[in-house]
Amino acid sequence: ELPDGGARPSAAQFKQLVVSALRELHGEVGAALPVDVLTYEEKTLSAILRVVSSGFVKLWSALTLLGFYQNRRCAFRVLQTSPFLLALSGNSRELVLD
């Protein structure tokens, strides 16, 4: 979330933001954590990230504690997590059976 509605980061800038958040909180070890941006929607500022299970807590904590992007306030909101990518493709509670 960028509350002031300024320029939105591109996919490459978003990936760099994630890596810098990891570096800021966990140092070079955190920055070396393999994180993949599977999808990124610049319009809605939403993304699906993939990380190894051992790095999940490091990634979540780094994103949660990041408060600024280019000297502007920002916040990350984790909407859903799953050990399976297929589970992120839809919400079973909204599934309509005929």
With a pLDDT cut of 90, the percent of the chain lying above it is: 53
Minimal CA–CA distance to 88: which of 78, 96, 98?
Answer: 78
Residue 5 confidence (pLDDT) above 70 = no
Side chain identity at residue 12, one-letter code: A
Q: Which CATH number applies to 11-89?
A: 3.30.70.3250
Q: Rounded to 5 degrees, what are φ and ψ at 61?
A: -65, -40
Residue 12 confidence (pLDDT) above 70 = yes
Residue 90 structure tokens: 């839809």
Side chain identity at residue 75, one-letter code: A
Residue 50 confidence (pLDDT) above 80 = yes
What is the C-alpha separation between 64 and 77, in angstroms, rounded? 8
